[in-house]
């Protein structure tokens, strides 16, 4: 049996390439070991069959941003009931048109930037990109989020006007927002800087009972037809 050695070292021997090129091929998902893609240059190899996939390029893989449709009932923490359990390639949208080749490393070291309450559903953003992370940390409160709120009950007089202007929460005046009836039991709300519990409080203050909250859009990026529990890549042309 051949003595074990690093996958990157074996690839250097096969391709007569540099160590860095070998690492980039492997990290980019271009190398298979007995037919299975392996992304770890340090993977111990003995007598397995090593192949370089057609079209392979030795270049640094850029960080990615994922858009996930969070179902109601899953939390945004690290526990067993976390929405993070949905981050598998099996849950990737089949019609993802981003052009990004899926890699296992894309599901690691992601920061959840737009959490939702456990009983809410809709679009959330997870990213590895420093620029995207910084965008939300610095200007997150300036980005408009759009929601559909399913309600029951009768809204107080001038309720829409009060919802859009003049409400206060936790002793602080809320900024104006856009609100309209989508149907007899659904409100459509577009607002900036929404805090956990805020929308429920606003509805209940006006005599409505909240049945469900779903986020449809963050900035210029909409959830569209992304099914609950599935995710897709933010395409290079999309901007929040």
Residue 20: give its domain's CATH number.
Answer: 3.10.290.10
Of 60-69, 127-136, 167-176, 185-194, the poorest mean pLDDT is in 167-176
Judged against a pLDDT cut of 90, whether residue 13 lies above it is answered with yes
Judged against a pLDDT cut of 80, whether residue 2 lies above it is answered with no
Looking at the structure, tell me whether residues 40 and 81 fall in a common domain. no
Looking at the structure, tell me whether residues 168 and 207 fall in a common domain. yes
Question: What's the half-sphere exposure (Cβ side, CA atoms, 13 Å) at 69?
Answer: 16
Say if CB 210 and CB 200 are below 8 A apart: yes
Label residue 35 left, alpha or beta by phi (over 0 means left) and psi (-120 to 50 means alpha). left
pLDDT band per the 50, 70, 90 thresholds, residue 226: very high
What confidence score (pLDDT) does residue 1 get?
Answer: 54
Judged against a pLDDT cut of 90, whether residue 110 lies above it is answered with yes
Looking at the structure, tell me whether residues 199 and 136 fall in a common domain. no
What confidence score (pLDDT) does residue 123 get?
Answer: 98
Looking at the structure, tell me whether residues 114 and 227 fall in a common domain. yes
Share of the chain above pLDDT 70, in %: 99
Looking at the structure, tell me whether residues 148 and 196 fall in a common domain. yes
Mean pLDDT of 80-84: 91
What confidence score (pLDDT) does residue 21 get?
Answer: 95
Global confidence as pTM: 0.89
The answer to whether residue 239 sits within a structural domain is no
Looking at the structure, tell me whether residues 134 and 16 fall in a common domain. no
Three-class SS state of 189? strand
Share of the chain above pLDDT 90, in %: 86
Contacting residues for 152 by C-beta, under 8 A, at least 6 apart: 185, 208, 209, 211
CATH number of the CATH domain containing 150 = 3.30.70.1560
CA 221 to chain centre: 11
Looking at the structure, tell me whether residues 134 and 180 fall in a common domain. no
The answer to whether residue 192 sits within a structural domain is yes
Looking at the structure, tell me whether residues 16 and 73 fall in a common domain. no
What confidence score (pLDDT) does residue 40 get?
Answer: 92
Say if CB 233 and CB 66 are below 8 A apart: yes
Judged against a pLDDT cut of 80, whether residue 203 lies above it is answered with yes
Extract the tokens encoding 82.
Answer: 């976390």
Looking at the structure, tell me whether residues 15 and 122 fall in a common domain. no
Contacting residues for 34 by C-beta, under 8 A, at least 6 apart: 48, 49
Of 13, 35, 12, whose CA–CA distance to 25 is shortest? Answer: 12
Residue range 162-183, pLDDT digits in tens: 999 978 988 889 889 999 999 9
What range does the domain containing 180 cover? 144-218
Judged against a pLDDT cut of 90, whether residue 79 lies above it is answered with no
Of 74-88, 122-136, 204-218, the poorest mean pLDDT is in 74-88
Please state, rounded to an integer, the average pLDDT across all residues of the chain. Answer: 94
Judged against a pLDDT cut of 80, whether residue 211 lies above it is answered with yes
What domain count does the chain have? Answer: 3
Mean pLDDT of 54-70: 95
DSSP string, 7-48: HHHHHHHHHT--HHHHHHHHHTT-EEETTEE---TT-EESS-
Mean pLDDT of 109-126: 96
Looking at the structure, tell me whether residues 110 and 229 fall in a common domain. yes
């Amino acid at each position: 049996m051949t003595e074990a050695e690093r996958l990157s070292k074996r690839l250097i021997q096969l391709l007569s390439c540099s160590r860095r090129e070998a690492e980039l091929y492997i990290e980019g998902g271009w190398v298979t070991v007995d037919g299975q893609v392996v992304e770890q240059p340090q993977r111990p190899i003995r007598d397995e069959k090593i192949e370089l996939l057609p079209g392979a390029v030795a270049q640094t893989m850029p960080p990615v941003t994922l858009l996930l449709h969070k179902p109601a009932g899953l939390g945004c923490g690290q526990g067993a009931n976390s929405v993070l359990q949905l981050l598998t390639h099996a849950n990737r949208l089949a019609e993802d048109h981003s052009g990004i080749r899926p890699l296992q490393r894309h599901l690691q070291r992601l920061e959840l930037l737009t959490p939702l309450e456990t009983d809410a559903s809709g679009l959330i953003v997870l990213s590895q990109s420093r620029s995207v992370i910084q965008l939300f940390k610095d200007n997150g409160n300036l980005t408009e989020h759009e929601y559909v709120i399913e309600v029951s009950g009768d809204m107080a007089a001038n309720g829409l006007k009060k919802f859009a202007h003049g409400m206060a929460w936790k002793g602080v005046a809320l900024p104006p927002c856009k609100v309209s009836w989508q149907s007899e039991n659904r409100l459509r709300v577009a607002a900036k800087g929404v805090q956990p519990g805020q929308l429920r409080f606003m509805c209940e203050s006006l005599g409505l009972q909240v049945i469900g909250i779903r986020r449809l859009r963050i900035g210029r990026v909409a959830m569209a037809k992304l099914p609950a529990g599935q995710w897709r890549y933010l395409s290079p042309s999309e901007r929040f």
